[in-house]
Amino acid sequence: MDAIDVILTKRDGGRLTPAQIDWVVDAYTRGEVAEEQMSALAMAILLNGMDRAEVARWTEAMIRSGERMDWSGLDRPTTDKHSTGGVGDKITLPLAPLVAACGAAVPQLSGRGLGHTGGTLDKLESIPGWRASLSTDEMLRVLRDVGAVICAAGAGLAPADRKLYALRDVTGTVESIPLIASSIMSKKIAEGTGALVLDVKVGSGAFMKTTERARELAETMVAIGADHGVRTVALLTAMDRPLGRTVGNALEVAEAVQVLAGGGPPDVVELTLTLAREMLAAAGVDGKDPADALADGSAMDVWRRMISAQGGDPDAELPTARESHVVTAPATGVLTGLDAYAVGVAAWRLGAGRARKEDPVSAGAGVVLHHVPGDEVTAGQPLLTLYTDEAARLPRAMEALEGAISVVPGGTPDLLPLVIDRIA
C-alpha cells in the first residue's frame, strides 16, 4: 500500500477499499504514514464523505488498533450512554447509578471538558478523593460490586482515534461527520458495552447547531452500532439553552445529587428518566422503573457506593468559589432567551473550563441560573450568579454574556423541545 494512492482515491471521490482502510489506519498509528499525509486524507474525507461500508470499516480499524474490553463475566447486561456535549449537561452523574439500580451494568468511560462544554470527569473530580483513572480489573470489580463505574479511558483503547482526533483538531477537519461518528463509536464499541444510547445535542451550545446535521450524525452512529452488533439508539435533544440550573463542576455535582434525592430541575429529571428507560430497553432489562428508583432512594444508594468505590467521599463538602457576581434582569417581562453557548463560554472564562487539555480547572467556578426561559422576571431581579476563584476573570465572563439574555414584555420563548427526535 501507498499513502498517496489512498489519498488520491478519496480526493477524486472514490471509495476506499477495506484493505486500504485497514492499512492506512494501522500505518498511521505506527507512524509509517506521516501527519501531513493523514491530514490530506482527513480533508479529502471531509470534502467527499464516506459511505456506510467505509465508515463501518474505518471504525473497525480504529477499534483493532488497541484493546477491546469484555464484560461477559458480569451477571447482568451492560448498557452505556454517550452525549455529544453541551452546557450544564450533568446527566451522566445521576444516570449511571440510576440505571444500575434498575438492573443493568453501566461501564461509563467519560472525558474532560474543552472550551465551552463541560466534562464529566472534571465534575466528579470536585468530590474530595474521587479518582478517574482505573485499571480494567478495577473497573470490573466496581461493576460487580456496585453496577456502575464512571472513569477515564485507558491509553490502550482505540489509540488510532486518540492520534487522529488530535490531528483533526489542528487541521480544520473536526466537522467531518464520518470522522466524528467513527471517533465516538470506536471508543464506545471498544469499551465492550452491549447496548448504547446516544444523546446528540442540538443548538447553540452544542457541536451540532442544526437538527439536520445532528440527525445525520445520529443516523451515522446508529448504523455503525448496528454494523458492529451493538444495539444503538439515538435521541436528539435540545441545547439551545443550558440544561438544568447550574453550569460548572461542583455546582453540577450538587444538582445531580438533588436529582438522585428525588428533586432537581424538571428538565434534568425528565432527560435522565428518558435516557434511563432507553438504556434499559436497549439492554433488554425489564426491571424497576427508573422513577421508582429515584423515589425509593435505591439510585442514591448506588451513587454513594460508586463514589466510595473510586476513593471519593460522598458526604464531603464540595468546593466553593471565593468570588461571586450577580447578573440582574435588564427589564421586566418574560425571559425569552438565555443562549447556551454564551453561558458556557462565561463558565469557561470563570475557570470551570479549559482552552487546552492540559489546563487545570476550578472546581467551584461556574454559573447558577435563578431563572430559565419562560419565567416572568422583574428589572433588577437576579438572573444569574457567576462564581470564580479570581475576581479578575469576571469582566471577560460578563463580556461573553452580552446579547445572551432576552427579556420581552408578554413574550414567548421560541425553544426546541427537550427531546426532538428518536433514531433507532
Active site residues: 82, 161, 168, 183, 187
Sign for the pseudo-dihedral over CA of 384, 320, 243, 222: positive
Q: Do 195 and 278 touch, CB atoms closer than 8 A?
A: no
Could you tell me which residues come within 8 angstroms of residue 137 by beta carbon, excluding any fewer than 6 positions away? none
CA 146 vs. chain centroid, Å, equals 22
CA 258 vs. chain centroid, Å, equals 20
Q: Do 173 and 46 touch, CB atoms closer than 8 A?
A: yes
Amino acid at 259: V
Distance in angstroms (rounded) separating the CA atoms of residues 139 and 409: 53
Give the phi and the psi of residue 338 in degrees, each rounded to 5.
-145, 95
Closest C-alpha among 369, 423, 374 to residue 401: 369
| H-helix or E-strand spanning residue 354 | none
Cell of 147: 453496577
Count other C-beta atoms under 10 Å from residue 320's C-beta.
Answer: 14
Residues paired with 208 in a beta bridge: 202
